[in-house]
Amino acid sequence: MFKLQNSSRAALALLTSLSLLSGCSLLPKEEAPIKPPLVKPAEQNYSTVLVEKGDIRTEIRGAGFFESIESDNAQFVSQGGRIEKVNVKSGDTVKKGDLLLKLGVDGIDLQILEQKLALQKAEYALKQLKRNAEDPDAMRLAELQLDIEKLKHYKLQGTIERSELRASMDGLVVFVEDLEPGDTVQPYQTLVTVVNPNKLRFSYQSSDTALIREASVGMKAEISTNKTKTLGKVVQTPSSAPETSNEGLAEKYKKTLYVDIDKLPDGAKLGMSGDLVIVLTEHTNVLVIPKSGLRTYMGRTFVRVLDDKALREIDVETGLISTTLVEITKGLDEGQKIVLN
């Protein structure tokens, strides 16, 4: 009986051991960590350019148009008033003295007729006294009365003339203020502009007033129109513009260059557009780099130079700077490779 129990115990121990061994074999084996692949770092690519010799210039370049040298801005000077009649429109041709527009003067027509009658009566009275050789004192009074009536008539004529705006020159009407009868106008308000269409110059306006102030009278200019180039010279700059009490004209002069053309191109006419080039300064055969290669930081002016794949910074001094190029006067040699921004 004892032997049987020992055998059972041995069998049970054997089964337990086997079950433990089989249980261990069912668990997954722990995998070793995967090492990351070795990646070769990418080489840094730079946009570069060689320092070379070339020409550099600063210039004024832009579009303008032909305008008349002779013009008249018609204005009422001594008075404003109410518009009675506008006699012209843009595009009309006028002669000196032609009526452009007229202000209304209340009752002026009746006043003129009454004064003409009074003047004729005074002339008739004096003529009768002279014919009858009457009292000299009466004749002298009649002469004074005639002078008074003439003066009244003259003043009325002056009132009429001040109410009329007339052309001061032969020419073409290029501007008429948008007015209707009954509208009110002010003294010194430009109402009509008349120009001479046969005497032209080139006009160029720019909001960059600092740049156009670098131009000076006498500088050469090139005008391109319809694939034709013609030469001229600067005759007026903001610095040389005449003084004027006209605020609008003074403001225009601040941002305008005027160029006289040596020989007007074929087909040139009032208002025709063209392209202007004025060379302000030019340096030839100097070291130049693209403007995008120049750097500034904390008061330094420098470039980045690439030597055998090594990058280093070099301080430089600059000369002329155009819209695209920079002249290098110190710090670089021809052939060096600089990195662009």
- For each of the domains in the chain, give its residue range(s) and CATH number, in order of start: 48-56+282-339 (2.40.420.20), 61-71+196-281 (2.40.30.170), 74-185 (no CATH)
Stretches in the chain below the pLDDT threshold 50:
1-6, 11-12, 14-15, 18-21, 23-27
Rounded CA separation 165/97 (Å)? 9
pLDDT above 90: percentage of residues in the chain = 53
pLDDT in tens, 157-204: 766 777 889 999 999 999 999 988 889 889 888 999 999 999 999 999
| Phi, psi angle pair for 240, to nearest 5° | -100, 5
Q: What is the pLDDT of residue 2?
A: 39
Residue closest to 248 by CA, chosen among 198, 337, 177? 177
Residue closest to 165 by CA, chosen among 153, 150, 154, 177? 177
Residue 66, C-beta contacts closer than 8 angstroms, at least 6 positions apart: 200, 201, 202, 203, 268, 269, 270, 271, 272, 274
Q: What is the pLDDT of residue 335?
A: 94
Q: Which structure tokens are listed for 202?
A: 């080139």
Q: State if pTM tops 0.75.
A: no
Question: Residue 191 is which amino acid?
Answer: L
Q: What is the pLDDT of residue 159?
A: 67
The alpha helices in 196-306, defined as continuous H runs, are 209-212, 247-253
DSSP helix/strand/coil, 153: helix
Are 260 and 277 in contact by the 8 Å Cβ rule? The answer is no
Are 261 and 203 in contact by the 8 Å Cβ rule? The answer is no
Q: What is the pLDDT of residue 254?
A: 93
Rounded CA separation 183/83 (Å)? 5
